[in-house]
Amino acid sequence: MPDAFLGYSLATGALLLFTTGILVAKVASSHLKLGLGFLIATTTNVVFSLLAFTVQLLIRPEALRWNAYAFWLFAIAGGFATYLGRWFFYESVVRFGPAKASVFQVSSPLFTALIAWLLLGEDISLLVGLGMVMTICGLMLVSCKPGFFSRTRHTRRERQEEPSVQALPRASLHQRLLGSVLLLGLGSSLAYAIGNVLRGTAVRVWNEPIFGALVGAAFGLALHLIFSSGKRQMVQVLKAASRRGIGLYALLGVCTISAQICVIASMRYIPLSVATLVTLCTPILVFPLNHLLFRNDEAITALMLLGGALTMAGIAIIVLR
């Protein structure tokens, strides 16, 4: 099997798994709060990848060859993607809504391409670059909700009608940073991009995508437990939580870590930015499936269809170049 075809197949598998995870998360969020669900999903990431790695060790003929350099790359990548990336993204979703957050999220492949070019010397041809731009523009059209920009203008008018800044207590630096959609959105995108470059670098020198996903998930979970508040009440909250919600978030964890394993494996065979771009095409699957499975009242607009067509055309240019 040609390396490129294997890489695209793995990236497509990750896309399908991430799409499944988003649909599961939609159901799970109605049974359990997102913060607790994030902890359950991340814990499941570690447990499931540990089981998968144990099975791999039992069935493969050769033993694990240790590579400390790649190990720490996988670990640091987990800190950026599993912890910082998710935190920035979920914070922006809560504060500014999924539409604005998703628009910033699709810029991650551009950051990945730039960092990979600067640090790894990974070249992107003009044709592939054109396909990436078309895909990202298409995803932005799909992700934007009706009235997205009008809500932005409304917010500006509301700010003009508010009392003067001098009459209000001055916000702390932390509050001002959390109130910036630009900082949170680009922070999430950049954190994911750095994590992707670190993972791609690691898997190219140490072909252990399952173990790499395990290391990253464990490191991300450790950071979450260290810096999250309310650790003492966590056990009591879990005991009182919905069993259905816990099970759904555990299923979400299985989907996301399986997708991460596929993404990491694909980065060995295709450019890092292309692998990231393929996995970010979830909106073109999520929106129609959400409409069909959950009888969502949100209409599939002409703008969404145009964005979907532009996205598919961009992917086709990349794959068939």
C-alpha 262: how far from its chain's center?
Answer: 13
What are the tokens at 304? 């969404």
| CA–CA separation, 18 and 205 (whole Å) | 26
pLDDT, averaged per 10 consecutive residues of the chain (321 residues), comes to: 85 92 83 80 94 94 91 93 76 59 68 80 79 78 57 43 42 49 71 90 94 94 79 72 87 94 94 86 78 67 76 74 58
What are the tokens at 158? 């509301």
Read off the pLDDT of residues 195-215 as tens digits, 9 standing for 90 and up. Answer: 999 999 999 999 999 999 999
Query: Looking at residue 217, what is its pLDDT?
Result: 93
With tokens 């995108």, the residue in question is 189
CA atoms within 13 A on the CB side of 139: 27
Q: Name the average pLDDT for the chain.
A: 78
Q: Which residues contact 170 (CB under 8 A, 6 or more apart)?
A: none
Read off the pLDDT of residues 65-81 as tens digits, 9 standing for 90 and up. Answer: 999 999 999 999 998 98
N- to C-terminal Cα distance for the chain? Answer: 18
Picking from 265, 210, 252, the residue whose alpha carbon sits closest to that of residue 50 is: 210
Query: Looking at residue 293, what is its pLDDT?
Result: 77
| CA–CA separation, 265 and 1 (whole Å) | 15
Read off the pLDDT of residues 11-42 as tens digits, 9 standing for 90 and up. Answer: 999 999 988 988 888 788 788 877 788 888 88
Are 75 and 215 within 8 A, CB to CB? yes
| CA–CA separation, 80 and 214 (whole Å) | 14
| CA–CA separation, 88 and 100 (whole Å) | 13
Picking from 321, 277, 297, 295, the residue whose alpha carbon sits closest to that of residue 109 is: 277
